[in-house]
Amino acid sequence: MRMVALVTGAARGIGLGIARRLACEGYDLAIGDIQEEATVGDTLSSLRGQGAEVLYCRTDIGAPEDRKQLVRQVQERYGRLHLLVNNAGVAPRERKDLLEATEESFEWVLRVNLQGPYFLTQAVANWMIEQRKASGEYTGCIINISSISASVASINRGEYCISKAGVSMSTSLWAIRLAEFGIPVYEVRPGIIKTDMTAGVRAKYDKLIAEGILLQARWGMPEDVAKAVALLAHGDLAYSTGQVIMVDGGFSVQRL
């Protein structure tokens, strides 16, 4: 029986890169994304062309009822789940200085980026525990996709940084809570990745990369993040629950 992975925000960008990699690795997929299904038909067809069964669920990860419906749909379609990848996230609609940022933006970003995956993890974790108790051969894994912004401050998008710092703490909390059930929880922390989210600041990052901000002088790609996710999903770091995998081209290496 094939393994099943639920990947949020997988209609494009990093999430799509992860979904493609997991399809190649033999996973069937459940995708939760805010996009209308009709707009991502070609994407879903390409994933199915890789041999994966694909369930698409239009989901606002920040909405409690949407999260419940997402889990129900996966249960009804597959009856099992082995991997949750919390990838869905948003950037502020406007990058504003801390002195000008709005509570509306703060609440929206944290609801989608932090509250959503936190409580989706809660629902999935309870289901994984049930599966573990039902079969000693069951293996489950949870992977949070955060950002270097979890620890690198950007004063024109404070709400985003705080949301990702919260995701990082969530990884530690869930790793502790689920350890007794043999369910590892990891964090993958991408750096400067070429996606739709970074399209609006491409010139800025092109300049920074050219000036040497990274040890590996190129943009990261969704495939780079996907490889790290696949490594963890395989269980190749099985004795490392709670750990953070940096996918940042050497950005975080301190230098003099």
Sign of CA dihedral 52, 57, 63, 68: negative
Q: Which of these, 191, 175, 210, 178, lies nearest to 252 by C-alpha position?
A: 191
**41-49 and 13-24 are packed helices; what angle lies between their axes, rounded to 10 degrees?**
20
How far is residue 69's CA from residue 150's CA, in Å, rounded to a whole number? 29
Q: Which of these, 176, 181, 137, 141, lies nearest to 6 by C-alpha position?
A: 141
| Residue 188 phi, psi dihedral angles, 5° rounding | -110, 125
Q: How many residues does the chain have?
A: 256
Identified catalytic residue from 27, 56, 78, 160: 160
160 catalytic per annotation? yes
Q: Which of these, 253, 190, 249, lies nearest to 214 by C-alpha position?
A: 249
Residue positions annotated with a catalytic role: 160
